[in-house]
Structure 1
């Protein structure tokens, strides 16, 4: 089928004389189909192996409940060891290569390593099928992106188009995993590409939609979550959803900090990868003895939270145990996504918030599950730094217009609150982009006082010709700055004005710096000038440096500004 699709694409290009833009849309369709097929293969593979292990497939929570406690401990441990072994192979045979699609799109050349992706996907498969508390969407998206990279390299796409095609594959994988094509497209453009431009968003959206259509043609298709009907929210209850966004915005960065701290802890242990992942699986297995809901990505538990009656103590217990299980699974080095566990955290947090509000204000507060639905989006917005994607994902899941008002308010509030902490995100590429943006903002506010360097070629008005000559010899500059007794800049002496010394005229030997002084020749810089203002000064001067003075009315010489320092700041700003 892939070869047939490629042949069809070439035929259509020749037949209709497609432009590069139109051709990109054709390949986006191909990548959408391949992304859906790779997702189906991974999903069905999990079901087959799960059935071989325990004689049934379906919910990992139900699978854990039916197993004796010894197997609940043993199975995740063995799965972790096997997953670690695959990771060792991935690192050994593909050393130095990159498999992460985000890096390939954002900072790479679009080349996604096939061997490394397959080995890491097998590692993720081993962790997931044995109950690891991690999402399966990570491997699904990675496989879809790999297929897109293979197609792009096969038809010899240039680097920019190859990166865009890999982004299309990632969107197809996410749309297939969650049956949310619009949110999948916005995830890739908002997080991975970093901007929503039609030239890139169009192909990405086409790939996501085609992937979703393809998924619907296969058996087993169903919405990611079975959402109950969302009722209208009116009046002052809207303020409660703003409060939920505030809580989610505070909690999401702490969730990410726990994950990072656990990764650091496991990394410091210096255990071999198979042992490290085995320990992570062992801890998940021990937790599942008391709370079997820690198995899997939390998908079935979220559906239960939305439809069943839960006591707040039970919700809180599952929330804490699931947090620990997810932390030790990801911290040990398991390959997979935390997207679905993040949705679980938001649903549990929202349900607890809704139950608390209903206890305080029972006659005016909606059912707690409405807060669970909005909590999923708010927590996701706070954790990913992508509020638009979070809003669209929950909307696609509920297909309810009534959810939009509280959802938008809650997601935006969560996003800004979480950003006020440290700009943390579950994705490294987002953290890097936030740091670069902060650096650009800092540079825009940069004043010249921050770039001052010593002006080593400074002499008084009474400096002799010999002192001037020696200064030019030592520093190899075109100008020497001349100051008065109060260190105020009076002007400069140019090297070309001393050429008469070479003639040996005795009268020249009696002259001082004041005799060669040029006033108002060089433009000067003041400490409060911005980068752009200082650059304009350099555009009128061909030299490497300019003097910086206290002010135009009080020209006390502070030092010099070098063109290289200015251009370096501009380079980091761009």
Structure 2
């Protein structure tokens, strides 16, 4: 137990409210939502202040680039990348690694621990990159900061890994909501992308954190659409086919965009130079591209608004689109800390506007104005890169506050998602969420010599229920624990199978909750004689919080979790 957990006020809170109850979870979700919003506001102000020091005014990055001389456009991104790289390379040497590398890993398979000092170092590096013109989004460090404060709160209260992960998810939700002023999409981002399903047990705390964060942001920044959407009208019913075509186009090009990002990371990573040199080279590429197209600087908010409200020649749009893609690949590929979410919206807007101009040229009596296709293109390209069509639809709706765009947006997003998924199995976040690769990374640290047996690690806890339990008990257990699955034992004590939270809530919606046992999925228990290494391999490929363990004769031993096994590995390595 940490020293924080022994403080009198913390002890009093833990005595008054059991930390495994829904009430304390929702209360902490409120606190995490507040802290997450304040963290994003602080990052915004720090970024604005740094830009003021560089330019003498608080305008956007594109305006800053346009006001600089050619040599300054080359120097600033290069110098920013160099400083950001030096921070990453040397500051992290002085900061001990503790916890997951990013919030997605901490939520999906980690123990929920995010390092305070590591996060601050990476945020400082990102601040230098973004303020100097790197073609990445500021949302990445914002969300990481919000998730880190949530992890800190949970660690102070000595939460177990499963509850800590849920709290980190609430923090990440608050960060996304604050970054885009999109409370609904913020909650769905974590549910649909990180958790992989929308569960009542997790969605409630996420929504609470999102609402609190949005209220705080309104107090500081006001409430208005991120993108001011012009009037959207259907010219003809036949136009729906044009939006289907736009979705298919986005679905084809998005995998190419992701492949370019992967290739850039591989090429930069293969360079036999230090990290700070790679980031400086990435900044230099952005500087060279900005000599011709200064609009490649920054995340592109101002350029997208310009595309929505002014007429662009198709040649200018095509050039901005190509150069922005190259700049984003250079910034992200070199290792700059930041997100590609906002640049993805930029690419979608430019692609949709070009498509709209083409449709107006081919069928002027049927097609809407190019700005209508631009905003739909944003959602379609986002859905085709994240593989989260529902989140993409709601994100664009909340960012534009235009209800008229919803119908064509739904059609294009689903079409783009289905098209992209047939061409590429992995989304833009796949590497952060791929469980077996993460487990493999931990396996490489342990070696094959570990003699610890799984039977000594199995425990009986609140992840175990009986097939004879009433449905209300199961529901309360899912809500109280936040687990993604429960392990079910038959009345005779043997293993009955696993119960997935999403499937169980779907069963409740049928109106026959007493038949919840029909949602149990048969599973094979792990052998108690497995070594720790073998257990990591087996559990790392499962999409479950808890996995049953039996001996060679099928006798019940208990359950284990991947975060718990990773925590044991970490402790073993710390003693070596």
With normalisation by structure 1, the TM-score equals: 0.73
Distance in 2 separating the partners of 1:103 and 1:238: 39
C-alpha distance in 2, partners of 1:568/1:91?
32
Say if 2:104 and 2:433, in contact at 8 Å, map to a contact too: no
Tell me whether 1:29 sits opposite 2:30 in the alignment. yes
Equivalent residue, structure 2, for 1:138 = 140
Which residue does the alignment assign to 2:211? 209
Q: In the alignment, does 2:52 pair up with 1:51?
A: yes
Give the alignment's Cα RMSD to 1 decimal. 2.9
Q: Partner of 2:65 in structure 1? A: 64
Distance 1:99 1:58 in 2: 32
Aligned-pair distance for 1:10? Answer: 8.7
Q: Deviations over 1:398-457 (max 9, x none)?
A: 223321211111111111111111212111357627999xxxxxxxxxxxxxxxxxxxxx
Q: Give the secondary-structure state (helix, strand or coil) at the position aligned to 1:57.
A: coil
Deviation sequence 1:140-160 (CA, Å, 0-9, x none): 000000000000111111111
> What is the rounded CA distance, in whole Å, between the counterparts of 2:216 and 2:10 in structure 1?
18
Q: Residue in 2 aligned with 1:305?
A: 307
- Residue pairs, 1:147-166, within 5 angstroms: 147-166=149-168
Instruction: Encode CA deviations 1:193-225: one digit per residue, 9 max, x unaligned.
Output: 112111101101111111011001114664322
Query: Which fold has the larger relative contact order, with Cα–Cα distance below 8 Å and residues 6 or more apart in sequence?
Result: 2
After TM superposition, give the deviation of residue 94 of structure 1 in Å.
4.0
Rounded Cα–Cα distance in structure 2 between residues aligned with 1:226 and 1:569: 47
Q: Deviations over 1:117-143 (max 9, x none)?
A: 111111111000011110000000000
| 1:198 alignment partner in structure 2 | 200
Find the counterpart in structure 2 of residue 250 from structure 1: 252
Q: 1:434 to 1:15 in 2, by over 3 A?
A: closer
The Cα offsets for residues 269-316 of structure 1, whole Å up to 9 and x where unpaired, read as: 121111110111111111111110010011111010001110010000
Does structure 1 residue 391 correspond to structure 2 residue 393? yes
- The offset of 1:23, in angstroms, is 1.1
CA–CA distance in 2 between the matches of 1:17 and 1:63?
52
Please give the alpha-carbon distance, in whole angstroms, between the structure 2 residues aligned to 1:128 and 1:421.
32
| Alignment of structure 1 residues 446-465 onto 2, 5 Å | none
Query: CA 1:7/1:178 → structure 2, altered by over 3 Å: closer, same or farther?
Result: farther
Would you say the 8 A contact 1:32–1:210 is kept in 2? yes
1:92 correspondence with 2:93: yes
1:350 aligns with 352
1:346-495 map, 5 Å? 346-429=348-431, 432=434
Residues 491-541 of structure 1, C-alpha deviations (whole Å, 9 max, x = no match): xxxxxxxxxxxxxxxxxxxxxxxxxxxxxxxxxxxxxxxxxxxx99x99xx
**In structure 1, C-alpha distance between the alignment counterparts of 2:16 and 2:104, rounded to whole Å:** 35
**Contact 1:424/1:431 (<8 A) preserved:** no
- Which residue number in structure 1 is paired with residue 280 of structure 2? 278
Unaligned runs of 5+ in 2: 439-521, 526-533, 545-576
Question: How far apart are the structure 2 equivalents of 1:215 and 1:570?
Answer: 38
The offset of 1:230, in angstroms, is 2.0
- Given candidates 170, 173, 187, the residue that maps to 1:171 is 173
Q: Tell me how far apart the structure 1 counterparts of residues 539 and 334 of structure 2 sit (CA, whole Å).
A: 40
Q: 2:120 matched to which residue of 1? A: 118
Range with greater deviation from structure 2 (234-243 or 17-26): 17-26
Partner of 1:336: 338
Give the structure-2-normalised TM-score. 0.73
User: How many equivalent residue pairs?
Assistant: 445
The residue aligned with 1:441 is none
Contact 1:133 1:325 in 2 (8 A): yes
SS at match of 1:218: helix
In structure 2, C-alpha distance between the alignment counterparts of 1:28 and 1:7, rounded to whole Å: 22
5+ long unaligned stretches in structure 1 = 437-534, 540-563
Cα gap change, 1:277 to 1:235, in 2 (>3 Å):
same
Residue 571 of structure 1 and its aligned partner are, at CA, apart by: 8.0
C-alpha change, 1:569 and 1:44, in structure 2 (3 Å) is closer
- Which residue number corresponds to residue 519 of structure 2? none
In structure 1, C-alpha distance between the alignment counterparts of 2:244 and 2:371, rounded to whole Å = 16
1:234 Cα deviation from its structure 2 partner: 4.6
Give how far 1:395 is off. 1.2
Query: SS of 1:67's equivalent?
Result: coil
1:314 aligns with 2:346: no
**Change in CA separation of 1:21 and 1:137 when aligned onto 2, cut-off 3 Å:** same
1:77 matched to 2:108? The reply is no
Instruction: Tell me the distance in 2 between the aligned counterparts of 1:428 and 1:88.
Output: 25
Structure 1 distance, partners of 2:389, 2:337, is 25
2:562 equivalent in structure 1: none
Quote the Cα distance in structure 1 between the aligned partners of 2:148 and 2:89: 20
Residue in 2 that maps onto 1:457? none
User: In 2 relative to 1, CA 395–335 (structure 1 residues): closer, same or farther, beyond 3 Å?
Assistant: same
When Rg is computed on C-alpha atoms for both structures, the one with the higher figure is: 1
> Residues 324-371 of structure 1: CA distance to partner in whole angstroms, max 9, x if unpaired?
111111111101000000000000000001110010000111111111
- Report the equivalent of 1:240: 242
Alignment map for 1:551-566 (pairs within 5 Å): none
